[in-house]
Structure 1
Amino acid sequence: MIEQAIRVRASLEQSGLDHGPISVHDRMVQLGLAAPSRAALARAFQASVSDGVCKEWAS
């Protein structure tokens, strides 16, 4: 589920749209996807930056 969220986030960013946890959550719901909580998304996005490797581009 987090992997899907990271792909949705990258898509929003590439489109020039806001790509924070609330926007990603809302977009996933719009697409009919199972969405993690906004807090879980924020933790996952923070972890991807804290690791020193942007996991968004790893897939």
Structure 2
Amino acid sequence: MELVSFSVLAHYGDPERAERHRQLLAAPRSRLIVPVTDGQLIVVRGSRRSAIPAVR
């Protein structure tokens, strides 16, 4: 859908996914990757983005 100009790397910090995340972040890419933990969400306002704590 390309609603934002970056890709989200969900579940960042999960030990079971650590090696895969390391590989994804080390690989060359044309699109920015924003890591997000299970306790975060991304807020986008115009061209600015912030990862903030999710309210549960």
Q: TM-score range by the shorter chain?
A: under 0.3
Which structure shows the bigger proportion of residues in helix conformation? Answer: 1
> Higher Cα Rg: structure 1 or 2?
2
Q: TM-score, normalised by structure 2?
A: 0.27
